[in-house]
């Protein structure tokens, strides 16, 4: 089938209240100081779809927003970044999630979620919203709405039957606890899974990244990418392993770096795999993503690594990265 979009990103859209340089020493009975505070549109689905759009992809989002000022702010931002918002679900009953994030001087962070993050919208009821893409990115496997095994299975089955590649980023569970065994029947349908090191340790029980990847592969997942933060990344599939250190840059804020990495990987792979005449991904790749050539994977992984690094050079998840040409220049500059 002809695809209307290159990528559909599915998951959370929210407002990040980012507090940088928080001083825990009170200046009054109930007062504290920080070096800066800002409101930023975020959430993994937003971060990924905005990044993909800026990288030249025709990108859409499937997410939930409340019918409130926070939701309006997110919609304005998505439209400004030329994102297809036709599959955004808005409701009066549930507020748009807002997350407070404390960012340290070295770019590391802690976040506070609340009950608004628990609302579980139902993408499986609207397959037309994600089967129109060459690929889907699940921003947070193991978080709502992808903390329900049936929703995961239904979405994956629809995606596979429509010839859509599946990229599954992960998060540690919060309100609902799932593990790999809970969704074992769905995992062989995943083309790429992209946990960070802490998530991979949690789900596999392993300490070594290569052994972590082997556990994911044993569940039938085609390609595994372990994001290792300042140590770079490890990629592995049944035929090929590739690792690369992080680029040597001064990190300001790591918020959204993993999302930028995943969006960069999916975008560059789609660009390189799409047929020049039809614009579609070859059927043999859709049937078995292990057939993606090694040189294509390496180029896409290096590009994604640059996307993640570039993201950390400014406060906010989608502040720094502007275009594919910018990422290419950034990668060239930092790999001399």
In a domain, 236, yes or no: yes
Q: What is the mean pLDDT of residues 306-321?
A: 92
pLDDT the model gives residue 107: 67
CA dihedral 244, 259, 198, 12 (to 10 degrees): -170
Measured between alpha carbons, how far is 336 from 331 in angstroms, rounded to an integer?
9
303: pLDDT strictly greater than 60:
yes
| Residue with tokens 């599939």, as numbered in its chain | 237
> What is the C-alpha separation between 218 and 200, in angstroms, rounded?
14
Question: Could you give the C-alpha distances from 135 to 54, 82, 108, 216, 254, in angstroms and in order?
Answer: 17, 18, 30, 20, 25
Question: Which domain CATH number covers 248?
Answer: 3.40.1190.20
Residue 197 has pLDDT above 90, yes or no: yes
Give the pLDDT band of residue 125 (cuts 50, 70, 90).
very high
The answer to whether residue 315 scores a pLDDT higher than 90 is no
Collapsing DSSP states into helix, strand and coil, what is residue 128? helix
Pairing, β 36-42 against β 14-20: antiparallel
- Considering the domain boundaries, does residue 24 fall inside one? no
> Are the CB atoms for 51 and 318 separated by under 8 Å?
yes
Segment 47-72, tens digit of pLDDT: 999 999 999 999 999 999 999 999 99
**Coil/strand/helix, residue 174:** coil
CA-based diameter of the chain, in Å? 67
Our count of domains for the chain comes to: 1
Q: Which domain holds residue 187?
A: 5-15+44-95+113-333
Half-sphere exposure in the Cβ direction for 208 (13 Å, CA): 4
pLDDT at 307: 97
pLDDT category of residue 20 using cuts at 50, 70 and 90: confident
Determine, yes or no, domain membership for 250. yes
Q: What is the pLDDT of residue 24?
A: 85
Please spell the DSSP secondary structure of 213-227, one letter per residue: HHHHHHTT-SEEEEE
Report the percentage of the chain scoring pLDDT > 70: 99
Q: In angstroms, rounded to a whole number, what is the distance separating the alpha carbons of residues 135 and 261?
A: 15
Condensed to tens digits (0 to 9), the pLDDT of residues 241-250 reads: 999 998 989 8
- Going by pLDDT thresholds of 50, 70 and 90, the confidence category of residue 113 is confident
Q: What is the pLDDT of residues 268-279, one digit of tens each?
A: 999 999 998 899
Tell which wins on pLDDT, 110 or 14. Answer: 14
Could you write out the three-class secondary structure of 224-285? EEEECHHHCEEEEECCCEEEECCCCCCCCCCCCHHHHHHHHHHHHHHHHHCCCCCCCCCHHH
In a domain, 34, yes or no: no
pLDDT at 108 over 80: no
239 within some domain: yes
Give the pLDDT band of residue 1 (cuts 50, 70, 90): low
Asked, for residue 108, whether it belongs to a domain, the answer is: no
Question: Is the pLDDT confidence value at 282 over 90?
Answer: yes
In whole numbers, what is the pLDDT of the chain averaged over residues? 93
Which comes out higher in pLDDT, residue 108 or 147?
147
Q: Which residue has the higher pLDDT, 300 or 108?
A: 300
Structural domain contains residue 9: yes
Q: State yes or no: pLDDT of 114 exceeds 90.
A: no
Give domain status of residue 30, yes or no.
no
pLDDT at 109: 74
Mean pLDDT of 260-269: 98
């Amino acid at each position: 089938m002809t695809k209307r979009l290159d990528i559909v990103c599915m998951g959370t859209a929210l407002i990040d209240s980012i507090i940088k340089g928080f001083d825990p020493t009170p200046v009054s009975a109930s007062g504290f100081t920080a070096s800066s505070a800002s409101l930023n549109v975020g959430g993994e689905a937003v971060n990924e779809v905005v990044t993909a759009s800026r990288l030249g992809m025709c990108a859409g989002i499937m997410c939930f927003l409340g019918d409130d000022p926070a939701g309006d702010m997110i919609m304005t931002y998505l439209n400004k970044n030329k994102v297809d918002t036709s599959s955004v679900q808005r409701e009066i009953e549930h507020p748009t999630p807002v997350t407070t994030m404390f960012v340290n001087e070295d770019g590391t962070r802690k976040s506070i979620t609340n009950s608004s993050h628990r609302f579980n919208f139902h993408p499986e009821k609207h397959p037309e919203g994600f089967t129109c893409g060459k690929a889907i990115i699940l921003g947070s496997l193991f978080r709502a709405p992808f903390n329900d095994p049936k929703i995961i299975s239904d979405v994956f089955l629809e995606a596979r039957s429509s010839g859509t590649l599946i990229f599954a980023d992960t998060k540690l569970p919060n309100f609902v606890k799932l593990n790999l065994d809970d969704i074992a029947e769905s995992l062989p349908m995943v083309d790429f899974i992209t946990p960070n090191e802490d998530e991979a340790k949690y789900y596999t029980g392993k300490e070594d990244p290569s052994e972590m990847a082997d556990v994911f592969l044993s569940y039938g997942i085609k390609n595994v990418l372990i994001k290792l933060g300042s140590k770079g990344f490890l990629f592995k599939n049944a035929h090929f392993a590739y690792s690369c250190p992080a680029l040597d840059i001064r990190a300001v804020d790591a918020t959204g770096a993993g999302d930028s990495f995943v969006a960069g990987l999916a975008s560059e792979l789609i660009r390189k795999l799409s047929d020049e005449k039809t614009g579609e991904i070859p059927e043999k790749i859709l049937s078995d993503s292990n057939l993606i050539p090694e040189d294509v994977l390496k180029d896409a992984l290096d590009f994604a690594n640059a996307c993640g690094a570039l993201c950390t050079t400014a406060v906010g998840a989608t502040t720094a990265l502007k275009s594919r040409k910018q990422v290419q220049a950034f990668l060239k500059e930092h790999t001399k």
